[in-house]
C-alpha cells in the first residue's frame, strides 16, 4: 500500500489563515509562559509535569515533556 505524500501548508491554506494561525500559536505560547509565573508557584509542576533541564550552554524556556500515550 502506498503512503500518502505530505502537502506543505502553503499549498493548502491561504496566506491570511496561516498568518492568523501563527499569531494564535504565539499567543498560546505566551499564555503558557504566564501560567508558570503564577504567584503560588509553577502550576505545571503542581499538576505533575516534570521540567527537563536545558543542555549546558543553551538558553531559552524550560521544556515540560508530556506523554499522550500510556502503557
pLDDT per residue over 26-64, tens digit each?
Answer: 888 887 777 667 888 888 888 888 888 888 898 887 788
> What's the pLDDT at 17?
92
pLDDT at residue 20 is higher than 90: yes
Kindly give, in sequence order, each residue whose CB lies less than 8 Å from that of residue 49, ignoring residues fewer than 6 positions away: 64, 65, 66
20, 26 Cβ separation under 8 angstroms:
no
What are 24-33's pLDDT values in tens digits?
998 888 877 7
Amino acid at each position: 500500500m502506498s503512503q500518502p505524500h505530505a502537502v506543505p501548508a502553503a499549498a493548502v491554506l491561504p496566506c491570511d489563515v496561516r498568518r492568523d494561525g501563527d499569531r494564535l500559536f504565539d499567543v498560546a505560547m505566551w499564555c503558557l509562559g504566564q501560567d508558570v509565573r503564577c504567584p503560588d508557584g509553577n502550576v505545571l509542576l503542581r499538576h505533575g509535569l516534570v521540567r527537563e533541564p536545558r543542555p549546558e550552554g543553551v538558553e531559552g524556556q524550560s521544556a515540560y515533556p508530556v506523554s499522550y500515550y500510556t502503557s
